[in-house]
Chain A
Amino acid sequence: MELTGAEIVVQSLKDEGVEHIFGYPGGAALHIYDAFYQQDDIKHILARHEQGATHAADGYARASGKPGVVLVTSGPGVTNTITGIATAYMDSIPLVVLTAQVPTNLIGDDAFQEVDTVGITRPCVKHNFLVRNVADLALTIKKAFYLAGSGRPGPVVVDIPKDVTAAKTTYRYPKSVKIRSYAPVKRGHSKQIAKAVALLLDARRPVIYSGGGIIHATAATQLTALVQTLGFPCTQTLMGLGALPAADPHFLGMLGMHGTYEANMAMHGSDVILAVGARFDDRVTGDLSKFSPGARIIHVDIDPSSIGKNVPVEIPIVGDAAAVLEQMLDILGKKDRKVDEPVLEQWWKQIKAWRDVDSLAYDRDSKLIKPQFVIQKLCEVTEGDAYVTSDVGQHQMWAAQYYSFNKPRRWINSGGLGTMGFGLPAAVGVQMAFPNAPVACVTGEASIMMCLQELSTCSQYGLPIKVINLNNRYMGMVRQWQEFFYDRRYSHTYMDSLPDFVQLAQSFGHTGILIEKPGDVEGALREAFAAREKLVFLDFITDQTENVYPMISAGAGHNEMQLNPADSGATSQERELA
């Protein structure tokens, strides 16, 4: 049967099993939107900004494991997606972004709403395509899904000129597709894996350091099994939280710039590091010249270019994290040699001493609402089982530190790009994927203003997200750096002229609650989560002097952490903002 390009777009998505797409219409996309109008298998969610649509698709992908799909018009529709695409790219999130383009005969003419989409997206996509011929459309969409979801996942853009969406051809959606230059490996090299296992068994002070790759590879079970089989301590990156349950006694907490004392000290003191699906990002390693000086490193990653990029690696293993960890478990199962328990016990003793420092302690007697306290209560009220999205700043770090994630895909944040404005639209995507699950968006009063328009999307689709606004009246994270490194010169970080968030939420048809006292925190949270049908915007007026600790400053090593001064016995010591 002959279909138009627009119909092929819709039919290909159906054949790909797509149930939701996030988008925003416009001139060049009109034929495609018309084709969507004539069907109801795929649900289109109308965002209020293309950045919102892209983050929503991204949140959907992170929570569900399925690729997120975006549809936008040409020109400004495309440029508005760039932040979203780059966010997904940095965190290796599978997205297929369908962008409409001006008709082929106008390409290059500076036509109305023309941008060079392939050119402008190139540095932040896994791959992109311009479809010049309707005959190539279905195959290109198939390739886009294949590339987005396989290997190291990432966003793929398919740019479709308007005339291509009008042209007709016989439709056939390929069952599978091969790309001759692209063959992601699955299993790791067995000799390398045997070497790695031997090194692990010889280790005296081992650490397992795992990242977002574990989540992408659905390898949480294997990771947990390996950690428990070996009895090794395990730390996770900001992107990896939830893979090993936070409740597991082997879990040291997050590592890196705002990681726990025990996680960073263990990394620093280790003699063998098993890194899986993590990339030795600068926010994780601190100063590379001081990074884990005595450690021999095994690095498992699906992307060879991640291995050996920042630190020298003794045993590189290219492969899918789930497959490689299973191969390791297989070998361990067959070996009679086990870990040296007494040696390991010594190491745990040391770690316990570091743990006792209690680096996440904070002043619990404050008369002001401590942001950490809000997150702890959030965790309690949701029984640690909510989907938590966040924006970027101090609130993001506190959410990562104080919410105990026990399952993968529950913690959804922009780690690589650090995109303020991500949290709310991402929550839209998560709630679309799981309509009945509790979804919290932990945000700050500055971040929430960046994609606030999506509150309208939430009304339209009845999304009962709970917005946890940790309102410190400052771009807190930037203020913190100004306090520490710029002698308290708070240049342009005070959030003047904030709206009344309660009224603002109400104006969209939502509920708003203002919380000003620590004693009201839990009640408000319970009330919000009890309102299963409603979006509730919780505006917590928090201590504006609070800082994120521990902290590794630029140029410092893992063993040079700054701890919370409030820890050292002193209680409600309210520091004044000069």
Chain B
Amino acid sequence: MRRIISLLVENESGALSRIAGLFSARGYNIESLTVAPTEDESLSRMTIVTRGSDEIIEQITKQLHKLIDVVRLLDLTEGRHIERELLLVKVMAEGENREEVKRLVDIFRGRIIDVTDSTYTIELTGPSDKLDAFVEALSNAEILEVVRSGISGIARGDRTLRL
């Protein structure tokens, strides 16, 4: 099962490597991992997307909890939640394809944020499957570069992850 685990971690240089090291040492998979500072400068927020059986996910959360740098942990997928990912994609956009790409961007509610005579650079946010669908839809165009941020997530309603 795919899970999204949110963490508050000490904003210290070693924290990221401890967490990444845990996943590689124990053979857990990481689909994506994002980390950035929070409003509390002593903390970073990390979102990890992983896959595994219930037993593995239980081990992952327990092992993460055990790390001294991990302050709080929430499995977002245990409740209602919102997930978003940012996609930046640069595609060839020439001739009649230029219009076609623009139409697709509109349909997916993306934005063209940079242009040249021959290319568009497009920004799109949404859940990962929407981004997948967009990249899929672009398959007629020549994609030059795809950059994805990995998932950020937050719980719906009044469930929060804070100190």
Q: Which residues of A contact B (CB under 8 A)?
A: 118-119, 122-123, 126-128, 130, 147, 179-182, 303-305, 308-309
Cβ-neighbour of A305 out of B66, B72, B163 (below 8 A):
B66
CB-based contact A122/B18 at 8 Å: yes
Tell me whether B59 and A118 are in contact (CB under 8 A). no
B62 to chain A, nearest CB (A): 4
Give complex CA distance A128, B13 in Å. 12
Given A122-B21, A123-B21, A308-B58, verify A303-B66 contact (CB < 8 Å).
Answer: yes
B71:A305 contact, CB within 8 angstroms: no
A to B CB contacts below 8 Å, 10 in the list: A122-B18, A127-B68, A180-B71, A181-B68, A181-B71, A303-B66, A304-B66, A305-B65, A308-B58, A309-B59
A147 interface neighbour in B65, B68, B163, Cβ under 8 Å: B68
Q: Report if B55 contacts A (CB, 8 A).
A: yes
- A309 CA to B70 CA, complexed, in Å: 20
Given A181-B10, A181-B68, A304-B65, 20 further pairs, Cβ under 8 A: A119-B17, A123-B21, A126-B68, A127-B68, A130-B14, A147-B68, A179-B68, A181-B69, A181-B70, A182-B68, A303-B66, A304-B62, A305-B59, A305-B63, A305-B65, A305-B66, A308-B55, A308-B58, A308-B59, A309-B59
Q: How distant is A317 from chain B, measured CB to nearest CB, in Å?
A: 15
B residues sitting closer than 8 Å to A (CB atoms) are 10, 14, 17-18, 21, 25, 55, 58-59, 62-63, 65-66, 68-72, 163
Q: Of B55, B66, B71, B72, which is in contact with the most chain A CB atoms at under 10 Å from its CB?
A: B66
With contacts A305-B59, A305-B62 taken as known, whether A122 is within 8 angstroms of B17 at the C-beta atoms is: yes
Interface contact B68-A122, CB-CB below 8 Å? no
Which 10 A-B pairs rank lowest in CB-CB distance, beginning with the nearest?
A305-B62, A181-B71, A127-B68, A304-B62, A305-B63, A123-B25, A182-B68, A305-B66, A122-B21, A181-B70
> How many Å lie between the Cα of A126 and that of B69 in the bound state?
11
The A-B contact count (CB < 8 A) is: 36
Inter-chain contacts of A130 with B (CB < 8 A): 14
CA distance in complex: A182, B163 (Å): 13
Of A180, A181, A182, A309, most buried by chain B (CB within 10 Å of CB) is A181
Report yes or no: B69 in contact with A118, Cβ–Cβ below 8 A.
no
Chain A contacts for B10, CB-based, 8 A: 181
Nearest chain B CB to A181 CB, angstrom units: 4
A305 to B66, CA, bound (A): 8
A130 to B25, CA, bound (A): 22
**How far is B10's CA from A308's CA once the two chains are assembled, in angstroms?**
28
- CB A252 to nearest CB in B, in angstroms, measures 30
Q: How far is the CB of A177 from chain B (nearest CB, A)?
A: 12
Question: Which residues on A sit within 8 Å (CB–CB) of B58?
Answer: 308
Residue of B nearest to A132 (CB): B13
Q: Which of B17, B65, B68, B72 has the most CB of A within 10 A?
A: B68
- Which residue of chain A is the closest to B8 with respect to CB atoms? A181
Residues of B within 8 A of A305 (CB): 59, 62-63, 65-66
B69 contact set on A, CB distance < 8 A: 181
Q: Which residue of B lies closest to A156 (CB)?
A: B68
In the complex, which residues of chain B have a beta carbon less than 8 angstroms from the beta carbon of A181? 10, 68-72
**CB proximity of B32 to chain A, nearest CB, Å:** 22
Whole-angstrom CA separation of A118 from B12 in the bound complex: 13
Q: Which residues of B contact A147 (CB under 8 A)?
A: 68
